[in-house]
Amino acid sequence: MFKLDKDENLLSLQRQENMPTDFVKFQYMDKNYELPTDKTDFIISVNNETGETDDKKEGKYFGMQIIKYSSGRVMIKGSIHKFFNRTDFNGNDFDMQNLSIALKDLETEIGLKPEYCKLENIEIGVNIQLPFNPNKILQNLLFHRSVEFNKTISGAFYYQSAKRDYIVKIYNKTAQYEKKLKKYSENQSFMKPDEKKQFTLFKKTVNEHLQPNTLRFELKFLKMNVLNDLGIVYLSDLIKPEMVDTFKNLLLKEFEEVYFYDYTTDETNMKKTEINKLKDYRNPNYWVNLNKKDKYYHKRKFQEMTLKYSQNIKAKVLELIKQKIEKMREKSLDFSTDNFTENGKRKFRLFDRSDIGSKSPKLTT
């Protein structure tokens, strides 16, 4: 059984600031927007049988996919975190200052003004480092509110609970990138020179910045109703100072509704009836068959049993999430010259981009 030693106490770990926002999908509302053809190539799809085209143009710029339809509508989707890092990596911390820089780069490099970027989908999440393998939580997940967790990716420690307007996602970020790095490495011999260059950068970034035992908790909003009511409509709204509290409250509220068997539970002092009941509570199928009234009753009993016989890992993880987001409050949000070094280069970049004016390279397997 796991024991939290003094040097492994969850609340005494060194914490780093992490901005919750990652994947976004938005419509660009400026009808006069011109595609950045000098930055990346745009492709028009052609039907192989008829030779017809729908005049839809698609291009990518450091992970941000830009689509312009024949109607003139422009959609952009991708990971702002990966765009900031300039490689296929979002396992490090991403604070408010990083986000401010990334939005400014979107504007100066490909002409996307944040105040014209109307959000349609967005992921809000946080990375925390645990003093034990995150799989100890993931393998014991039961449900979120009343919806069970599903393992949607075979062979990966990734679980989600789907709602009508959003999806609750929880996964092992460290394992995700270790697996991705292995996959890229196996295909290295088939890579083109520019792909090998990107792979070298990706591998260096993962080795330097991926931390062990990183747990990712995330909310993927499929509809914007809830966030619109909270004042999040455009990309520019994400860097408002009050958004830190908004994100914190959302994440804490949703994680409180995550139920899992606490692997530190000590059965040695339990009554036989309690041990038998715990066997039911550990079984995800048990909860599926309960009606609403019975589920409420047994959730309370399960919580009482966990508090009495375990180290209450859930409360400690909640506190880690809270304290990590609180650290964001200390970051400056301005776009002033404080963001630059004396030679004019931006600070806070994961690594320097000397070829920022060239077309976006691609890394594929």
| Whole-number pLDDT of residue 302 | 97
> Could you list the mean pLDDT of each consecutive 10-residue stretch along the chain, which spans 365 residues?
42 40 92 94 83 87 95 96 92 85 96 97 93 95 93 80 95 93 90 91 92 95 94 94 88 96 96 96 93 94 97 96 78 41 47 49 47
CB distance 238 to 102 below 8 Å:
no
| Whole-number pLDDT of residue 335 | 36
| Whole-number pLDDT of residue 331 | 54
| Whole-number pLDDT of residue 314 | 97
Q: How far apart are CA 233 and CA 240, in angstroms?
A: 12
Residue 347 CA, distance from chain mean position:
23
Give whole-number Cα distances, 272 to 9, 277, 311, in Å: 31, 9, 21
Backbone angles phi, psi at 135, to 5 degrees: -65, -20
**pTM given for the model:** 0.83
